[in-house]
Amino acid sequence: MTMSVAAMMDLEQIEVDLFRGTSQWPPSQRVFGGEVAAQALVAAGRTVPKERMVHFLHAYFLRPGDASVPIVYRVEPIRDGRSYTTRRVTAQQHGEVTFTLSASFHLPEDGFTHQIPQLVAPPPEALPDPDPSMAGGDELTRAWFSGLADRHPFELRFDGELPRVATGRGERVAPRQRFWLRCRETLPDEQLVHSCAATYASDMLLLSTSVALHGTMFGAPDVQFASLDHAVWFHGPFHADEWLYYDQESSWADGGRALCQGRMFDRSGRLVVSVMQEGMIRRR
């Protein structure tokens, strides 16, 4: 089954501030964290005036999601101010809370402007299709990559070799990876939709940067991992169905946890999204 952003965001409203969503992932698997975060943001956004744009979310992953049953999202209106609106969302399955999200929405306004990080990257057209970039990978890496297009609704162009390819050769490399991404389907001209799509994408591959220095990879039998919390800041309007450059790195790991961060730039070089994630990483 090919993942669809439009289908993922098509939540059913079953009562005031209560929504139901369905996972697009195979029923035999647990729900992808980016998917539940995107759906929770859809639910929150539907309770906020359209002129207010999401500028921040903070999510906590509490239990693995079950992709075989619907997810119920309960939205709690926390605050409706003159400039800012705050919502809290809980996701429930089998009578238990699996995920919580706090999101803040902001009425656009003028203000001081600066941007320190700069985009330094080849254009996506100058990079090869992902298939050739996986040719040097081991069997585990090639098997992982073969289903990537079906698991995620984004087209990818990798800037350099992915750390997991080097890891498959027994190498230890810097905990950083960079790639262009864009949604494979054309999305409506509504910023909430594009922000939700970027929320999904923000969780893609991010935690995997944390094991590059340690000679292993996610999917290896000796590694156990899970996202713990995830924060995203949105800095301005953008389109997720146009190319975005995602620069990811891991700055710290210890005690069974790792911290990762990422930045998304549009093609003009504007910083449009910043991401922080802490995850659990353990040797089995």
Point out the residues that are catalytic: 203, 227, 277
The Cβ-side half-sphere exposure at 184, using a 13 Å CA radius, reads 14
d(CA 163, CA 177): 7
d(CA 201, CA 153): 9
Specify which residues 245 forms β-bridges with. Answer: 180, 265
d(CA 209, CA 251): 9
CB 219 within 8 A of CB 37: no
Residue 106 backbone phi and psi in degrees, to 5? -135, 135
- CB neighbour list of residue 223: distance below 8 Å, 6 or more residues apart: 211, 216, 217, 281, 282, 283, 284
